[in-house]
Structure 1
Amino acid sequence: MVSWLRSLQLSACVFLLVLCSCNSPLSIGGKKTPHEQYTDGLKNAGLTNTVLAQGWISAAQKSLAQPVSVTIPYRETGFFPAETPAAAGFRFAAKKGEVINVRLETTPVRGSGVFVELWQLNGTEHKILAYTDSLPGGLSKEIESEGTYLVRIQPELLRPVGYTLNITTSPSLAFPVRPRDNPKASSFWGADRDAGARQHEGVDIFAAKRTPAIAIADGRITRVNENTLGGKVVFMRPDGSDVSLYYAHLDSQMVSEGQRVQPGDVIGLIGNTGNARTTPPHLHFGIYTRSGAVDPWPFINVNPAKPRTVTADTSLLSLWVKTIDRKIAITGHPELVLDAGSALQVLAATGDQYRVRLPDGTEGFLRGTGVNNKPIRTEKLKREVALLAEPSTDAAVKKDLATGTAVSVLSTWRQFSYVQSGNISGWIMF
């Protein structure tokens, strides 16, 4: 019998020879993404009927169909082993006006061959917005509509890659009051007004009376007038944008209709005109689309939250571990409660947690202190057993273990135990 390990090594050699002998799919021109070009390269090389290529394509599809849900900002440190085709998908909410920044640092720094993509989700539909395979680096994209988005990362076949992924936000516009004027933002979008009769459609930025309110983009002044609520107001339309910027409660208007402005030009001086006569001086700043007002804060929030530092033990990355305590919950899957000793594979570390995969393919998060890779027990086999690559009776046999062989039991999954014998590990049924 050819061993499982020898088969994998042989397949890897064939892949490397074929991929190196054909033109690199990443050099192909056209409108297809680098990921699509690479997939086409596998097809053109006749490799899509192989187990490795099928696993790579399946991992790509699963990362889009079953991503893990995260909150931005998000950071994780992980590892893609060469012998296992893999991909990771991260689903999150984003708001109009903020810029999504995806940065991937890899080891090795260059030549790691990782595809990074940003997608917009609408029900079961997926629309790709931005992509790159130029690393180290990443991509940035302004969000044009509030909704659900997804980042996918996937290395080329047979590429062992360590990585740190950061998904963060930044504003698409500047702040409408200069930092040196010590502005204080308060009373944000949605706050009650008039005893709950209406809601606040903007953000109030407090500063000393007659502090300059400034233009935050290149654009044109579209209206300068007065109204009951806003008092002295100015509307501005940034170049190439579908939104209008609204400056209200001004003490003085310093521009005229049709005037061109650029970032830093003074639009007006902050006051408390209109219905703000009894409040301290402040700028009411709003943003309007053809459909009405939208939350302006994502457009101008120059101090967004930072991702959590990774504190979980990264020495466990890609290893199979066991749960320590009884009744361990997996974040994202409230229906799953694991007993002590249950098998999990550590995919990545984020904050003080791990992103993990169960043997059935389910992915989620759990606290880093809830697992370890210490043996449960050591025992000698009472009969000859097959050491399997996966916890399934249909899995490939890595090695036949003889009667009397000593094995360390590391974890369990249903009727299977994950064991180590010498320098090889796998699944057995006692």
Structure 2
Amino acid sequence: MRLIQLTCLFLIATFLSCKTGSVNLFKAASPHETYQRKLITAGLEKTALGSAWINASTLSMQKALKINLPYKETGYFSAEKANATAYKFSVTRGAKINISLNKKPENGAAIYLDVWRLPVDGEAKLLASADTLGNDIQIDVDESGDYLIRLQPELLRSAEYTLELTSGPSLGFPTKTGRANIGSYWGDGRDKNNRKHEGVDIFGAFRSPVVATSNGTVTRVNENNLGGKVIWFKPSGKDYTLYYAHLDEQIAKEGAQVLAGDTLGLMGNTGNARTTPPHLHFGIYTFGGAIDPLPFINPTIKTPPNVAAPLSNLNKTLKTSGKANLLDGNTTNASKLTQLQTGTIVNVNSANGNYYKVTLPDGNIGFIKSAELTQISKQNKKIKVTNTSTAIYDNPDALAPIKGNLQAGINVNVSGNFGDYNLIIDEESNTGWIKK
């Protein structure tokens, strides 16, 4: 039976790699969508394996866990399963998301990576997909809110991967100085708190250069009472305008096409800043008014913690060494999904920091501290079967397929448990679940 199964899997893989049947090309498709269409064209969505792959892609998005950026994990997709994993995270407008995915072996299984914007209402919007060359994905965040990333390998191929997500500024810094020179932030009180600061103030040497944060167009050069000598600048392809104020000298001309880093003017203290040290007031304006510019230019990029949980446990079945919390996130303030009892069986999918992402026997997923898991071979206990005929189930579920039966008087090793079932190994090294 095992030989027949392997032969069928080989034929499916060969068919997928060779078949070039008709595909709906009325719209541009992501690599994931193209692969799924190939499955359907080949009629493989009607097979157990093909159906499981398609269902896994949808279910993973519905069960996506929450993560905070920056984030890094190393995981493993097994060829024996239809795998998919997804995460949700929040990002502020103005940031740039950078996503890298490295796999082992490099020329092994294709791993489809897709990124969505999750609106408050309506359907998720696909923003980007990884190309076949494995280049990083970079996304300018045009709307604050929740985003989702999904990874899914092709069928019948195993792969180890490392996923890394960071966020940084979508624009360059507007002066030659750094964040340490920002002396006033968005929302600070002005004029005895009668108004709020609509930008950030970046201090520096008198007549030091202020520069273009990206390629774009100088839309206006003028003076006003508050800003003194000012320049308005529109980055290419964006729906907002940058505001440079308190300049001592305006160098760029109205209508000029400039490149990132080009000098627009020289820092000063004109307008209502004449009693203050030289600085640049930097603001961003949209059709709806001013917005906080700091996420657009904040040069501080945090790096994710290194993966400390042992990678040797990837794709292994472990058990809890004591009572442990299954969490909805990989941080100390994550919410508890459920409390797991001592000896609860889990399968390790990936490692991040000091956590593992695990799947329970009932399909639920979550994060757990790696230190709270142990090998199933440790501290096993033996029990004697007392019932005349005890069914061995494939999963801890009375509706699961029955693998066999144990006769009364047989001794078995208990490796762990889940709910009302024990995971056992009988005298012939067969593994399965029996009722407690």
Matches within 5 A, 1:213-224: 213-224=210-221
Looking at structure 1, the residues matched to 124 and 380 of structure 2 have their Cα atoms a distance apart, in angstroms, of: 47
| Pair 1:358 & 2:360 matched | yes
| Pair 1:394 & 2:396 matched | no
Match of 2:170 in 1: 172
Match of 1:378 in 2: 381
Question: What's the CA shift for 1:360?
Answer: 2.7
Query: Among 65, 70, 80, which residue is 2:67 paired with?
Result: 70
Looking at structure 2, the residues matched to 154 and 27 of structure 1 have their Cα atoms a distance apart, in angstroms, of: 21
| Pair 1:247 & 2:253 matched | no
CA contact (8 A) 1:175 1:302 kept: yes
CA contact (8 A) 2:326 2:366 kept: no
| Pair 1:268 & 2:270 matched | no
CA contact (8 A) 1:26 1:34 kept: no
Matches within 5 A, 1:73-222: 73-122=70-119, 123-178=121-176, 184-194=181-191, 196-222=193-219
Looking at structure 1, the residues matched to 393 and 136 of structure 2 have their Cα atoms a distance apart, in angstroms, of: 39
Looking at structure 1, the residues matched to 4 and 211 of structure 2 have their Cα atoms a distance apart, in angstroms, of: 67
Question: What's the CA shift for 1:402?
Answer: 5.8
| Pair 1:282 & 2:279 matched | yes
Question: What's the CA shift for 1:277?
Answer: 3.6
CA-to-partner distance for each residue in 1:252-287, whole Å, 9 max, x for gaps? 222332233222222122123333344332212111
Match of 2:332 in 1: none
Question: What's the CA shift for 1:158?
Answer: 0.9
CA contact (8 A) 1:177 1:183 kept: no
| Closer/same/farther in 2, CA of residues 424 and 82 from structure 1, 3 Å limit | farther
Unaligned runs of 5+ in 1: none
Letter in 1 for 2:66: S
Looking at structure 2, the residues matched to 294 and 22 of structure 1 have their Cα atoms a distance apart, in angstroms, of: 51
What root-mean-square deviation, in Å, do the aligned CA atoms of Structure 1 and Structure 2 show?
2.8
Looking at structure 2, the residues matched to 264 and 133 of structure 1 have their Cα atoms a distance apart, in angstroms, of: 30
Q: Is the partner of 1:48 in helix, strand or coil? A: helix
Match of 2:350 in 1: 348
Question: What's the CA shift for 1:43?
Answer: 1.4
| Closer/same/farther in 2, CA of residues 172 and 390 from structure 1, 3 Å limit | same
CA contact (8 A) 1:68 1:89 kept: yes
Query: Among 16, 20, 23, which residue is 1:19 paired with?
Result: 16
Q: Is the partner of 1:137 in helix, strand or coil? A: coil
Q: State the identity %.
A: 38
Question: What's the CA shift for 1:30?
Answer: 6.0
Match of 2:423 in 1: 418
Report the more deviating stretch, 182-191 or 85-94. Answer: 182-191
| Closer/same/farther in 2, CA of residues 104 and 425 from structure 1, 3 Å limit | farther
Question: How many correspondences in the alignment?
Answer: 426
Looking at structure 2, the residues matched to 193 and 25 of structure 1 have their Cα atoms a distance apart, in angstroms, of: 64
Q: Is the partner of 2:136 in helix, strand or coil? A: strand
| Closer/same/farther in 2, CA of residues 343 and 139 from structure 1, 3 Å limit | same
CA-to-partner distance for each residue in 1:118-167, whole Å, 9 max, x for gaps? 11111351111111251543322222222211111100111111100011
TM-score by length of 1: 0.89
Q: Is the partner of 2:116 in helix, strand or coil? A: strand
Letter in 2 for 1:363: I
Looking at structure 2, the residues matched to 7 and 55 of structure 1 have their Cα atoms a distance apart, in angstroms, of: 19
CA contact (8 A) 2:23 2:41 kept: no
Looking at structure 1, the residues matched to 44 and 179 of structure 2 have their Cα atoms a distance apart, in angstroms, of: 61
Letter in 2 for 1:99: K
CA contact (8 A) 2:67 2:89 kept: yes
Question: What's the CA shift for 1:200?
Answer: 2.9
